[in-house]
Amino acid sequence: MKENNSDHTVWFTTRKEEKDNPARRVLLEVYFALKEKGYNPLNQLVGYLLSGEPAYITSHRSARSLIKRVERDELLEELVRSYIELAEKENQGGGSGEEDSGNNDNL
């Protein structure tokens, strides 16, 4: 039986970074379709990403069929990549201009 050694970090590799990758395009299209129909895009996307249930996504502008073309792990990868890129830019630029109070509510 293979021993589970959780003391070591496992490497996870992804595709080469692309600014205009399919996951990014789909997320943006779905976001705008949800917004146009009056939905809260954050709530609907989280519901879809957690459950895999396409009913969380409107069919307006073919958003539901678009989102089903991309694997959920690829969508999550793009969201995390975008968040980290934004965090790095803010960190390089001195942040938001607020003093660091040790409160990590924005994370």
Strand (E) or helix (H) holding 17: none
Q: What is the mean pLDDT of residues 62-72?
A: 98
Q: What is the mean pLDDT of residues 52-61?
A: 98
Q: Is residue 57 a contact partner of residue 67, using CB atoms and an 8 Å limit?
A: yes
For residue 11, what pLDDT band results from cuts at 50, 70 and 90? confident
For 52, residues 6+ apart whose C-beta sits below 8 A from its C-beta are: 72
pLDDT of residue 9: 80
pLDDT of residue 93: 80
Q: What is the mean pLDDT of residues 18-29?
A: 86
For residue 17, what pLDDT band results from cuts at 50, 70 and 90? low
Domain boundary assignment for the chain: 22-90
Q: Is residue 54 a contact partner of residue 103, using CB atoms and an 8 Å limit?
A: no
pLDDT digits (tens, 9 = 90+) for 77-98: 999 999 999 999 999 986 554 4
